[in-house]
Structures are given as C-alpha cells and as structure tokens.
Amino acid sequence: MTAINTTTARINHFADLEALRQVSAQTLAVRTAESVRLPDAEQIQILVCGGTGCQAGKSVATRKAFEVAIREAGLSDRVSVHQVGCFGFCRMGPVVVIYPGETFYCEVAAKDVSDIITHHVMGGNPVQRLLYAPSPKEKVRVQTMAANPFYKGQQRVALKLCGHIDPEDIRESIGAGRYFALAKGLLEMTPASVIDEIKRSGLRGRGGGGFPTGKKWEFAAASVNDVKYVLCNADEGDPGAFMDRSVLEGDPHAIIEAMALAGYAIGAKQGYVYVRAEYPVAIHRLGIAIRQAREVGLLGEKILGTDFSFDIDIRLGAGAFVCGEETALIASIEGERGMPRPRPPFPAVSGLWQKPTLNNNVETYANVPDIILKGAEWYAAMGTPKSTGTKVFAVAGNIMNTGLVEVPMGTTLREIVYGMGGGIPKGKKFKAAQTGGPSGGCIPAQLLDTPMDFDTLVSLGSMMGSGGLIVMDDSTCMVDVARFYLEFTQEESCGKCPPCRVGTKRMLELLDKITTGEGTLEDIDKLEELAAGIKATSLCGLGQTAPNPVLSTLHYFRDEFIAHVVEKRCPAGKCQALTEFRIDAELCKGCGLCARKCPTNCISGEIKHPFVIDASACVKCGNCSDVCKFGAVVH
C-alpha cells in the first residue's frame, strides 16, 4: 500500500500516536516467534520479502501469486499477504514467512504458491521441500527462523523490524513502536538529555570510523547558527555491504525518526538522506515513508504539537564511491563534483552550505530510537565496554550462508563464520576474512577467534568499516585480492590530490607486475614505501586507507608475495600468468569430464586413459580443475 488511508488524521498529540499504534497492534501481535498455530479461525499472515535481493528472484511474482491464490480459494477474510523488507538471507530468496508459527520458506517461486496454500495454509502442514536445509548433505530441514542456524545467535537491534513490517505502511511501523522514541525525546527530554543518552550508550558511528556518536551530536549542537543540517549517509559504498540498503528498504521510519531526534538534539530543521542511485527500491520506500510521515505530521511543522519542526529530503548519488566520505557527500548534495574538502573546518562547524552539519550512517541512526526508548544502559550492556551494542555484518564470499548477520560487538569471527555463516562450502579451508572493505584488511585463519569490535580490528591492521565481511577460502590468491582492492580505490580516487591520484596508480602497477610474474623483491619494498607515503599525505580517508589491504596482506601473507616474485608461482592458482594447468597421469581416471568443460577444447585423451592439456591453447579458466572429481588437474 503506497498511500495510507486518508482518514488517518494528523497526529497532534501523544494520544493520537498511541491510538494509531493500536490500529496495527493486533496484526503485528501475530508476528512473533512465540505465536503458535491456533484453531482454524485464526488469521494467517503471509509475509513475502520485497527486498532488492528477493525481488531479483521474482518475489513480486510470488507475492502476486499468493494474492491470486488466496482470492481464488476464498480465503481472503482470514489470510492476508504482506510485502516486507529484507530478512538478510537474500541468497535463499525469495523468502516467505508465514505466521502464526514463523515458518520460514526459502526460494519460493510463483509455482510453489499452490503447494503452500494447499498444504500449509489449508492443511496445516509445512511444505518440507521449501524449508531451509542447513546442511546440503543431511537434508534436515528447519521450520522456524528461530531454529535456523543463520539467525541463531543473532541479536537484532538495527535490523529488528526488517522483514517484520510492511515498510510502505506507516501504521505498521507505528504499531511496532516507531516514533515513540521521538515522542519521548520531544515531550519528555531536553536536547541536551537526548545527546547525553546517546553519549552514555557508547554508540559509535557504523559508517566506518567508529567515532562516538554522542560526541558528534554534541559538537554540532554547540555550533551556534540559525540554520543547521542533519545528514544521513546512505551511500553504502563498500562493495559487498548491504545493511544500509536493508534498513532503508525494511524499516525506513527508523531513519526518519532518528534523524528527527538528531534535528531536535542539535537544533536543525532540515535533513537530507544521500542514497546511492544503485538502490532504486530503497529510494522508493524511503520516499513513501517520508511522504507518509509528512501526511500524519511526524515530519513538517510542529511535530507532535511541539514547537519542533523538521523535514527530510532525499538526494541521489550518481556512482562515486568517494561521495561516502562526508565532505565529498556534502559537495555532492550541493550539486558539485564530489571531491573531499580539507578539515578543519569540520562539518559540525561548517558543512553543507557552510552551515553546521551532522552526518551519520544509516545503521548508526537505526540504533538511536531504541537507545532513547530503552535507555543508554540497556544498549551499553550489549557488546564490549568500548564497542557497545550490536553490529551488522554483511557476510559474503566463500561461505555457506551469505547474508546480514547482526551480533553483539565482540562476537568472534569464528562464531560468525562457522555459526551463522555455516562454514566454508565445497570442503575447502578458511583462509582469511576481509573486513572494512577497500579501507580495511584481512584476518588470517590463525586469528579466527578475534573478537569483532572497533579497536581489536584496528589493532590487527584491519578495520570495522561498514561491516562488510568477505570470507575467502584456500583457493583465493591474497596478492590478487590486494590487487582487486587497490584497483577499486584507484578507480574511485577523485583525483584531487597527487598521493592518491598518482600514488595508487603506481601501487597498482607494481601489483600488476607481481601478479603477472614481472615483479621483483625490490618492488615489494617499493610497495611498502609508497603505501606508507600515501597514507601519510593523502587528503581524505580514501587515500589514507587505500594502502591498507595491501599492507595487511603483506603482513599476514608475505610468503605469497615472495612466491609470486621469487618462484614466479601463484600458490592459489589464480594469477593466470603464473599458473599452468597440468593433468597428473597417475591420478587421472580418464573420465573425460574436463575435456567436455574446457572452453577451448584443449584437453584431449582417450576414455579410461590419462588426458592431457595442450598448454599453448589453455586460457587458464580453471574449469578442468574445478570439475575433476579425482583432483587430477594440478597447477
């Protein structure tokens, strides 16, 4: 539903808000893990994921199929279909959850709908084949989210309503408690006490740097000016991270509420959300949420009958990673080239249009309402003393369960990888995990018990960044990974300052040399020298952190670099120039599978006799090695 019921009156008092909560309270009461299947008269709710991931899997068709099927089965009065936001388990999408009972279905296509209606909705028996099987071999299936190892151990604060409410209906958000923190702030707290609450919660910025959020609010509040701005950084540039997208798609009112609270705390009337243009669904939902909030008076003039007025507009990015850096983001909102500006002056003093400006990340804001509502102590009790609360990680790469995992700060990497993540597929070994995206570094296998918090990660030469967590197995070449990140930062450098513009190019050239077998030991020294120099002299965080992935891989995997330059060998077999594929005649059973999968037909042989590869025609795609069941293809 895009336009809310026009009879919904403007909210002028706390009582209006409370009344509106009641409207959807009952609907939402059904959506708890505890709710059990009650007699047939009970309402059944079918929640279909409408996040970007599931939409890519045609979840819209699935939802429509449900709607049609229910109508045709004459179930409309007791079965309802709801589009909700991302459950964080997008790889298994389209995800469908059915209440009561919280039955969690995966990969539900439109053609599966009739089975669910017949067996589950009408017959009361879950459709086994669509339930999640944690282990592909054992075929044991789990029915509920709570029983699903991916969700077990997660503690959801920022993501708590994602997948739980219809993000396009403000009544559901209010029913789930949104805007009560704003009400509490406006009606019961002073701006200073709001800031104090945030400070005491220990919340630190989730956008990368981990700067204490309360302190930032305090600085912005201290700047004297009639006009101030509140920004929300939804540029989510770290490739592989998608928690901000998920929050905007699944619970946009959390951001609106938190930004309004921030506006109240620092004395701003206007906010902007800067969203990357690559997120059309998030932009669409956020736009709807802002319009609905305005309609009911939760944005605009005199919110909740107080003297506080606040509004929010959306600004779109246009494909520049550097615009996630806050001064570049400000330049971009001003309609200019998104090039970072030197600090001081800090945005808290002179930011957007030279006015004091507060900027926080989406996930940072998503934590704010609960901190105000439940108190700083509640929040600070989670996580570690210096990194309080929870953190969302976007787990991806060579891992069984990819998706969004929200855990208390300080949870170990092992718990994430082998707990929620379900371990490494295809029987391969964990080699390293990369955190912090292009600004971060890697954590090798021997540090699997690292607690994931801001300071520990920095001490290991990585960083939290936005929470991207890329898991790599032993077939990954770490030199190639370092090269990949550097190529990214090099392409995304804004070009303003020479160390980053030219320096990252020179580093990339050195890495290219190494991965193509032209490198020397001297080049490794040069890389380190350059890395240190670029970090020390670059203007903004992009250049200052661009060398990190290289430094970190050099630190933990120096032997791989040495293998590339001295032995001219890529241990992982990824760097094409350094890899030669060969069939071990002892091991080859002569099945011929490799020959069929070879794109250049350069493998020949007779069935039941060892096959051979014609190295001159081999394009080193690795197919043969992947498909051989006997490990006979070596490199």
Partner 1 sequence: MSCNCCKGMITEDPRFAELDAFIASAKSTPGSLISVLHKAQHLFGFLPEEVLQHIAAGLQIPPAEVYGVVTFYNYFSTEPVGRFPISVCMGTACYVQGADRVLAKIESELGIKTGQVTDDGLFSLVSCRCVGACGLAPVITIGGEVHGKLTEHDVPKLLAEIRQQAIADGLVEAPVQEPVAAGSDK
Partner 2 sequence: MINLTIDRKQVQVESGTTVLEAARSMGVNIPTLCYLKNINKIGACRMCLVEVKGARGLQTSCTTPCTEGMEVTTNNTAVRAARKLVLELLLSDHNMECPTCVRAGNCELLQLSQEHGVSGIRYEGEKHAAHCDCDSPSLSIDSSKCVLCQRCVAVCREVQGVSAISLVGRGFESAVTPFWKTSIDAAACALCGQCTLVCPTGALTEKDDTEKVWAALMDPTKHVIVQTAPATRVAIGEMFGMPHGAIATGQMVAAIRSLGFDRVFDTNFSADLTIMEEASELVSRLQNGGPLPLITSCSPGWVKYAEHFFPDQLDHLSSCKSPQQMFGAIAKTYYAEKQGIDPKDIVSVSIMPCTAKKFEAARDEMNASGYQDVDYVLTTRELGRMIKQAGLNLAKLRPEEYDVPLGIGTGAGQIFGTTGGVMEAAMRTAAAWLGGTDMPRLTFQEVRGEVAGIREATVVINGNVFFLAIANGLAAAGRIMEKIKAGDTRYHFVEIMGCPGGCIGGGGQPIPSEGPDALEEVRLARIKSMYAIDEAQTIRRSHENPAIQELYREFLGAPLSHKSHELLHTHYHGRGPAGVRKAAAASGVKK
Q: Could you list the residues that contact ligand SF4 (CB under 6 A)?
A: 322, 340, 493-497, 500-501, 538-540, 542-543, 581, 583, 588-594, 598-600, 602-603, 611, 613, 618-624, 627-628, 630, 632-633
Provide the terminal-to-terminal Cα distance of the chain, rounded to the nearest Å.
56
E strands along 339-440, which residues?
A: 357-361, 390-397, 403-408, 430-435
Q: Of ligand FMN, partner 1, partner 2, none, which one does residue 375 interact with (CB within 5 to 8 Å by kind)?
A: none
- When asked if residue 9 is in the footprint of partner 1 (CB under 8 A), the reply is no
Binding mask 145-184 for ligand FMN (x = CB under 6 A): ----------------------------------------
Binding mask 43-82 for ligand FES (x = CB under 6 A): ------x-xxxx----------------------------
- When asked if residue 438 is in the footprint of ligand FES (CB under 6 A), the reply is no
- When asked if residue 502 is in the footprint of ligand FES (CB under 6 A), the reply is no
Sole binder of ligand FMN in the list 166, 236, 370, 560 (CB under 6 A): 236
CA dist., res. 374 & res. 381, Å (int): 12
CA dist., res. 289 & res. 123, Å (int): 37
Angle of CA points 256, 259, 264, to nearest 5°: 125
- When asked if residue 535 is in the footprint of partner 1 (CB under 8 A), the reply is no
- When asked if residue 93 is in the footprint of ligand FES (CB under 6 A), the reply is yes
Q: Of partner 2, ligand SF4, ligand FMN, none, which one does residue 623 interact with (CB within 5 to 8 Å by kind)?
A: ligand SF4
CB of 494 to ligand SF4, least distance (A): 3
CA dist., res. 272 & res. 275, Å (int): 9
CA dist., res. 90 & res. 404, Å (int): 8
Where does this chain touch ligand FES (CB under 6 A) — which range of 84-92, 98-106, 361-369, 481-489?
84-92
- When asked if residue 100 is in the footprint of ligand FMN (CB under 6 A), the reply is no
Tokens of 400: 């069984």
- When asked if residue 340 is in the footprint of ligand FES (CB under 6 A), the reply is no
Angle of CA points 433, 211, 310, to nearest 5°: 120
Q: Of ligand FMN, partner 2, ligand FES, none, which one does residue 209 interact with (CB within 5 to 8 Å by kind)?
A: ligand FMN
| Contact predicate 284/167, CB 8 Å | no
Where does this chain touch ligand FES (CB under 6 A) — which range of 29-37, 85-93, 427-435, 597-605?
85-93
CA dist., res. 371 & res. 161, Å (int): 15
Count of residues engaged in binding ligand FMN, rule: CB under 6 A: 23
CA dist., res. 101 & res. 38, Å (int): 9
CA dist., res. 148 & res. 105, Å (int): 11
> Longest C-alpha distance within the chain, in Å?
85
| Contact predicate 500/538, CB 8 Å | yes
Over 503-527, what HEC string results? HHHHHHHHHHHHHCCCCCHHHHHHH
Residue 619: other Cβ atoms inside 10 A: 12
Binding mask 459-498 for ligand FMN (x = CB under 6 A): -------x--------------------------------
CB of 314 to ligand FMN, least distance (A): 15
Chain position carrying tokens 């855990």: 407
Which of 502, 602 has the CB closer to partner 2?
502
Binding mask 448-467 for ligand FES (x = CB under 6 A): --------------------
| Contact predicate 262/270, CB 8 Å | no
Sole binder of partner 1 in the list 24, 233, 292, 332 (CB under 8 A): 332
Using CA atoms in the order 179, 183, 186, 187, what is the torsion angle rounded to 10 degrees?
180
CB of 632 to ligand SF4, least distance (A): 4
β-pairing, 270-275 vs 311-316, is parallel
CB of 622 to ligand SF4, least distance (A): 5
Residue nearest to ligand FES (CB): 51
CB of 525 to ligand FMN, least distance (A): 27
CA dist., res. 442 & res. 296, Å (int): 47
| Contact predicate 296/304, CB 8 Å | no
Which of 442, 633 has the CB closer to ligand SF4?
633
Sole binder of ligand FMN in the list 205, 297, 397, 410 (CB under 6 A): 205
DSSP category for residue 273: E
Which of 33, 621 has the CB closer to partner 1?
621
| CA neighbor of 65 nearest in space, from 88, 89, 92, 94 | 94
| Contact predicate 545/504, CB 8 Å | no
Q: What DSSP line would sit under 462-475, residue for residue?
A: ---TT-EEEEEETT
Using CA atoms in the order 509, 511, 513, 515, what is the torsion angle rounded to 10 degrees?
-140
Q: Which residues bind partner 2 (CB under 8 A)?
A: 227, 269-270, 320, 334-335, 337, 341-342, 344, 353-355, 490-499, 501-503, 505-506, 509, 526, 529-530, 533, 536-539, 544
User: Taking each helix axis from N to C terminus, what angle separates 14-29 and 180-188, rounded to the nearest 10 degrees?
Assistant: 160
- When asked if residue 540 is in the footprint of ligand FMN (CB under 6 A), the reply is yes
Q: Which helix (H) or strand (E) holds 499?
A: helix 498-501
- When asked if residue 209 is in the footprint of ligand FMN (CB under 6 A), the reply is yes
Sole binder of ligand FMN in the list 166, 235, 311, 453 (CB under 6 A): 235
- When asked if residue 326 is in the footprint of ligand FMN (CB under 6 A), the reply is yes
Where does this chain touch ligand FMN (CB under 6 A) — which range of 144-152, 165-173, 234-242, 582-590?
234-242
Sole binder of ligand FMN in the list 325, 370, 453, 523 (CB under 6 A): 325
Q: What DSSP line would sit under 137-185, residue for residue?
A: TT---B-BTTT-TTTTT---STTTTTTTS-TT-HHHHHHTTTTHHHHHH
CB of 74 to partner 1, least distance (A): 34
Q: Of partner 1, ligand FES, partner 2, none, which one does residue 279 interact with (CB within 5 to 8 Å by kind)?
A: partner 1
CB of 322 to ligand FMN, least distance (A): 5
Residues in contact with ligand FES by the rule CB under 6 A: 49, 51-54, 86-90, 93, 95, 239-240
Residues in contact with ligand FMN by the rule CB under 6 A: 205-209, 211, 213, 233, 235-237, 322, 324-326, 359-361, 364, 466, 540-542
